[in-house]
Amino acid sequence: MANRLRGLIIPVISVLLGLIAGAIIMLISDYDPIAGYAALWDGIFGEIFYIGETVRQATPYIFAGLAVAFAFRTGLFNIGVEGQLIVGWLAAVWVGISFEDLPKFIHLPLAVLAAAAAGALWAFVPGFLKAKFRVHEVIVSIMMNYVALHTTNYLIRNVLAEEGDSTEKIFPSASLRSEMFEQITDYSRMHWGILIAFVAAFIMWFLLEKTSKGYELRSVGFNHHASQYAGMNVNNNIILSMVISGAFAGLGGAMEGLGTFEYASLKSAFTGVGFDGIAVALLGANSALGVVLAAFLFGGLKMGALNMPNADVPNELVDIVIALIIFFVASSYMIQWVYRRFKKGVK
């Protein structure tokens, strides 16, 4: 199967299969699938407010997806996006509440950069351990997720929040809120972050496809023996791509901390955005454009799901559908196998 075709057909088929499977589950459990999906559709496009919220939800998904995709393209599996996102969130808010009189054009970039740096630092650990000790990055980053969760909670409870479970609101000079977007979307929480997300997607594409460093990073991912033989510094490239991936994840946290919520609060469990980022990257075939599209799809599904109880369908159905979509994409061998059979039959 041609690569370009594969990049398009497999995601589309997987999404369709996922939705069909979701309908079957609704049928079996005695819900009305048509009413359910109609409510889902209404929850995404029914009101301009919902569209705004979908964009708001898609924003961190784009970053999480880019983080996972960037690592995938360079031969690494960054399952630690969740933790990197959480520390990025905290770092952004920390800067946001710490400086009162800074002008916006300094304060906001500073907060955003702090988030990127925190995420990068968190991803540096698995990158470094992989490069120096050949420790598998998946396990280390899973462990780092929990370290992030407990550490940020501790910092919020004991350092940042004077009382209660969350920090103060950030100063307006660090906020990503946009009155314009709020007005045209009927006061949803849509914020400027979506534009930063588009820029980030462009940067990822440009970096990987148009620069020699990007070529090196991809080459190390393909075959690090060959890359070493060609004179590339394999270890540094592994660390670098983890750090860049972590910076994307940290920026995703900044979107939540500076845009959506404008504070950081204690978390009893993970946000889930980082793990959904794996789904976004897989569905987007690890390309920048694909990630953006997939992020909007998943953002829409997540937002629309909140409307499904209106049709008496539990909103968890969407989580099942998303999980199934990942299974189908991951098992693309099955789709290819059917495709080849089909082609043979035609001949």
Partner 1 sequence: MDFMQILEILISSAIFMAAPLIFTSIGGVFSERSGVINIGLEGLMVIGAFISIVFNLAFVDSLGGATPWVALLVAMAVGGLLSLIHAVASISLRADQTVSGVAFNLLALGLALFLVKKLYGKGQTDMIQERFLRTDIPVLSDIPIIGRLFFSNVYYTSFIALGVAVLAWFILFKTPFGLRLRSVGEHPMAADTMGINVSQMRYIAVMISGMLGGLGGAVYAQTVTLDFSHSTITGQGFMALAAMIFGKWHPLGAFGAALFFGFAQSLSVVGTSIPFLEDVPSVYLLIAPYVLTILALTGFIGRADAPKASGIPYVKGNR
Which of helix, strand or coil describes residue 166?
A: strand
CB of 120 to partner 1, least distance (A): 18
Plot region of 75 (φ>0 → left; ψ -120 to 50 → alpha; else → beta): left
Q: How many residues bind partner 1 (CB under 8 A)?
A: 44
Binding characters for partner 1, 298-327, by CB under 8 A (x = yes): ----------------x-xxxxx-xxx-xx
CB-based contacts of 180-186 (< 8 A; 24+ apart in sequence): 181/52, 182/52, 184/48, 184/52, 185/48, 185/49, 185/51, 185/52, 185/53, 185/55, 186/47, 186/48, 186/49, 186/52
- In the region spanning residues 154 to 173, those forming contacts with partner 1, defined by CB under 8 A, are 154, 158
Binding characters for partner 1, 79-98, by CB under 8 A (x = yes): x-------------------
As given in the structure block, the two tokens for residue 171 are 């100063």
- In the region spanning residues 45 to 84, those forming contacts with partner 1, defined by CB under 8 A, are 77, 79
- In the region spanning residues 217 to 276, those forming contacts with partner 1, defined by CB under 8 A, are 268-269, 275
As given in the structure block, the two tokens for residue 212 are 């020699």
**Residue 9 and residue 23: Cα distance in Å, rounded?**
21
Choose between 105 and 333: whose C-beta lies nearer to partner 1. 333
| 29 touching partner 1, by CB under 8 A | yes
CB of 342 to partner 1, least distance (A): 17
Binding characters for partner 1, 278-297, by CB under 8 A (x = yes): xx--x---------------
What is the three-state SS of 287-298?
CHHHHHHHHHHH
| 195 touching partner 1, by CB under 8 A | no
**Residue 316 and residue 231: Cα distance in Å, rounded?**
50
Binding characters for partner 1, 326-345, by CB under 8 A (x = yes): xx--xx-xx-----------
Binding characters for partner 1, 116-155, by CB under 8 A (x = yes): ---------x---x---x-xx-xxx-xxxxxx--xx-xx-
CB of 221 to partner 1, least distance (A): 14
CB 180: neighbour CB atoms within 10 A?
9
Binding residues (CB under 8 A) for partner 1: these are: 25, 29, 77, 79, 125, 129, 133, 135-136, 138-140, 142-147, 150-151, 153-154, 158, 268-269, 275, 278-279, 282, 314, 316-320, 322-324, 326-327, 330-331, 333-334
